[in-house]
């Protein structure tokens, strides 16, 4: 409230007497000095009421938090319980009707069989009494008996049909809270070949069963060209690649590689780090100079986090270890390490890995047909995708390979033997097909045994930028699926 002395006498709003008055800016009314004080007191009392109401509301919130059986929750749960009761009654009534129908139909069916059998029996009696029959008559009687017997034990006239339309009312919970939506929701199902695709071979425009892949901030591709025993870089929009590591034949010398499975680029040092699979080593190439970082490791997948830690999956020890760059001692186990198995603390052939900004490790647990998430310092993992046995339905994976997680926590998986990329949203018990899923051939909408997986701008590890890149292993090419905006 602000006050200003009046120049002229006016009528006080409260006593209606002509006095020197003062305006209240809040209500735009004039008050004499006595009633202005009263007005202020009224306003103070109203403020105190508001403060008391806020305190009571705060207490109510605390009570709601401490009491899981809040009125709103109980009301909604009661509605759900009522829906459940009504639906069960409908189902039970439907089941009872069907049971009664089955009983009635079975009686009619048995009676029909009995009539046929009685008719056959009369024919047998007649033939037997007349004593005039031959092989044709016997074959006829035998076939009729077989026919009636099969009809009795295979009652094809009675079966159960399930309608696709529900006969109970579906319910769901609707929240007014705005949900965070994916930035991208659909990719062009016909891909563009951005590397290889010229049949299997060792030419600079060819690949031979590529596996891992890395994309830098300029969208240059670095490819673990597995059976060519080399790492090739394909510049953005290039027609052929250039060898940046290996390419000197299969071998274990420092300038050679043997079936590399994955590659990452440390953009701080501009070095190439390679999972040199058959040589059982992680090796770094920097300007054609080589350095072994980790020896005697059955390495498959690689990852580097925003803090510069290196992660390597070991498919024999069934674990993922982490090293601080430049300090390659024993490393720290961050996933698995409890022997081969299917328990939540175990892995069975860990393959590709992804590390998010919280240093949670996502690893494709290939022979368990699932993706596991191990939070930092966790003693066991959680199933992030798959885990419902080997198969091709939306709840299953079949030898998963590459994995990427976007900033919404959505998990993208290269589903190797199902020839598709799956997206699993957190909390869902099944995934959805993003691209592929057709027979494993080489058309632009098809994939054949996909391995590595990435999005544009791999340097920004935690954001899906748009275009999806897939290592199409058995088609010897890298496919780019463009986002539909």
320-356: pLDDT as tens digits:
999 988 888 889 999 999 999 999 999 999 999 999 9
> Is residue 6's pLDDT more than 50?
no
> Is residue 163's pLDDT more than 50?
yes
Q: What is the pLDDT of residue 465?
A: 52
Domains of the chain as residue ranges with CATH: 9-55 (no CATH), 183-481 (2.120.10.30)
Tokens 């009636």 correspond to what residue? 148
Q: Which range, of 27-36, 309-318, 474-483, averages the lowest pLDDT?
A: 27-36
Contact 259, 229 (CB under 8 A): yes
Q: Which range, of 53-62, 243-252, 303-312, averages the lowest pLDDT?
A: 53-62
Both tokens of 404, joined, read 């990427």
Q: What is the pLDDT of residue 303?
A: 96
How far apart (Å, rounded) are the C-alpha atoms in residues 452 and 75?
Answer: 49
Q: What is the pLDDT of residue 330?
A: 84
How far apart (Å, rounded) are the C-alpha atoms in residues 462 and 404?
Answer: 9
pTM for this entry: 0.63
How far apart (Å, rounded) are the C-alpha atoms in residues 158 and 203?
Answer: 65
Cβ burial 175-201 (10 Å sphere, 16+ → b, else e)? eeeeeeeeebeebbbebeebbbbbeee
pLDDT tier at 401, thresholds 50, 70, 90: very high
Q: What is the pLDDT of residue 171?
A: 75
> Comparing C-alpha atoms, which of 304, 236, 300 is closest to residue 266?
304
- Percentage of the chain beyond pLDDT 90 is 50
> Is residue 178's pLDDT more than 50?
no
> Comparing C-alpha atoms, which of 2, 33, 25, 26 is closest to residue 14?
33
> Is residue 173's pLDDT more than 70?
no
Q: What is the pLDDT of residue 69?
A: 59
Both tokens of 14, joined, read 């409260």
80-134: pLDDT as tens digits:
888 888 888 888 988 898 888 888 877 887 888 788 888 878 888 887 777 777 7
Tokens 């508001």 correspond to what residue? 50
Q: Which range, of 70-79, 102-111, 280-289, 460-469, averages the lowest pLDDT?
A: 460-469
- Percentage of the chain beyond pLDDT 70 is 89
> Is residue 288's pLDDT more than 70?
yes
How far apart (Å, rounded) are the C-alpha atoms in residues 74 and 61?
Answer: 16
Q: Is 227 exposed, middle or buried (0-12, 13-18, 19+ CB in 10 A)?
A: middle
Residues facing residue 483 across a β-bridge: 187
How far apart (Å, rounded) are the C-alpha atoms in residues 159 and 431?
Answer: 33
> Is residue 475's pLDDT more than 80?
yes
pLDDT tier at 156, thresholds 50, 70, 90: low
Q: Please, what is the average pLDDT of the chain?
A: 86
How far apart (Å, rounded) are the C-alpha atoms in residues 357 and 450?
Answer: 26
Q: What is the pLDDT of residue 174?
A: 62
Stretch 232-261: mean pLDDT? 96
Q: In sequence order, what E strands does 287-326 have? A: 289-295, 299-304, 309-314, 319-324
């Amino acid at each position: 409230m602000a006050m200003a002395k009046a120049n002229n006498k006016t009528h006080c709003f409260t006593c209606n007497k002509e006095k020197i008055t003062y305006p209240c800016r809040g209500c735009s009314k004039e008050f004499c000095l006595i009633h202005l004080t009263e007005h202020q007191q009224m306003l103070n009392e109203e403020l105190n009421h508001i403060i008391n109401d806020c305190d009571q509301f705060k207490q109510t919130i605390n009570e709601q938090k401490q009491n899981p059986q809040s009125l709103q929750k109980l009301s909604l749960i009661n509605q759900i319980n009522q829906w459940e009761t009504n639906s069960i009654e409908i189902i039970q009534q439907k089941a009872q009707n069907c049971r009664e129908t089955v009983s009635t139909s079975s009686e009619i069916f048995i009676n029909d069989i009995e009539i046929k059998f009685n008719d056959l029996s009369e024919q047998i009696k007649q033939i037997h009494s007349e004593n005039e029959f031959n092989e044709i008559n016997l074959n006829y009687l035998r076939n009729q008996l077989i026919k009636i017997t099969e009809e009795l034990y295979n009652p094809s006239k009675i079966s159960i049909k399930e309608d696709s339309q529900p006969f109970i009312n579906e319910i769901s919970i609707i929240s007014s809270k705005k949900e965070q939506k994916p930035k991208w929701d659909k990719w062009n199902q016909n891909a563009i070949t951005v590397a290889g695709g010229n049949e299997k071979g060792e030419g600079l425009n060819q690949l031979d069963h590529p596996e891992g892949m890395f994309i830098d901030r300029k969208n240059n591709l670095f490819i673990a060209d597995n059976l060519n025993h080399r790492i090739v870089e394909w510049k953005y929009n290039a027609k052929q690649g250039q060898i940046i590591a290996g390419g000197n034949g299969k071998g274990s010398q420092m300038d050679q590689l043997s079936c590399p499975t994955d590659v990452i680029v440390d953009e701080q040092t501009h070095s190439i780090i390679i999972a040199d699979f058959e040589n059982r080593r992680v090796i770094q190439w920097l300007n054609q100079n080589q350095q072994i970082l980790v020896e005697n490791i059955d390495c498959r997948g690689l990852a580097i986090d925003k803090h510069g830690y290196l992660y390597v999956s070991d498919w024999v020890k069934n674990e993922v270890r982490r090293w601080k760059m430049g300090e390659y001692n024993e490393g720290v186990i961050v996933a698995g390490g409890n022997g081969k198995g299917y328990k939540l603390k175990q892995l069975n052939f860990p393959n590709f890995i992804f590390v998010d900004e919280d240093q949670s490790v996502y690893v494709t647990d290939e022979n368990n047909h699932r993706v596991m998430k191990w939070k930092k310092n966790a003693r066991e993992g959680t199933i992030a995708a798959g885990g419902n046995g080997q198969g091709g339905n939306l709840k299953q994976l079949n030898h998963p390979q590459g994995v990427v997680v976007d900033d919404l926590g959505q998990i993208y998986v290269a589903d190797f033997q199902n020839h598709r990329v799956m997206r699993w949203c957190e909390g869902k018990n099944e995934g959805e097909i993003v691209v592929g899923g057709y027979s494993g051939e080489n058309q632009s909408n098809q994939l054949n045994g996909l391995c590595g997986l990435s999005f544009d701008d791999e340097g920004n590890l935690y954001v899906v930028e748009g275009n999806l890149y897939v290592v199409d292993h058995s088609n010897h090419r890298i496919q780019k699926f463009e986002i539909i905006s």
